[in-house]
Amino acid sequence: MSESDDLHGRARQMRDKAKDLQESAEQAADPGERKRLQDKARRLEAESEQVSGMASGDIYPME
């Protein structure tokens, strides 16, 4: 398995985790917990986009 495949797999796992967190946030009754989960989901999604960019050969991180 190449490094690119590893990065694509990692990015996919991060997107899946972000989706799970977003779904949990939608079901959270506590507004503070909902916001915390949404923020974490957004951070993971942004990080997964950077990892995906690295895997595709884009050397410039997204800002």
Domain boundaries, the chain: 3-54
Q: Does the structure show a pLDDT above 90 at 5?
A: no
Task: Identify which has the larger pLDDT, 51 or 31.
Answer: 31
b/e string for 17-51 if b means 16 or more Cβ within 10 A?
Answer: ebeebbeebeeeeeeeeeeebbebbeebbebbebb
- Compute the average pLDDT of residues 25-50: 95
Between CA 44 and CA 52 the distance in angstroms is 12
- Is the pLDDT reported for residue 57 higher than 90? no
Q: What percent of the chain has pLDDT over 70?
A: 83
Tell me what the mean pLDDT of segment 16-34 comes to. Answer: 96
Would the pLDDT of 62 be above 70? no
**Spatial separation of the C-alpha atoms in residues 38 and 32, rounded to whole Å:** 10
Three-state SS for 58?
A: coil
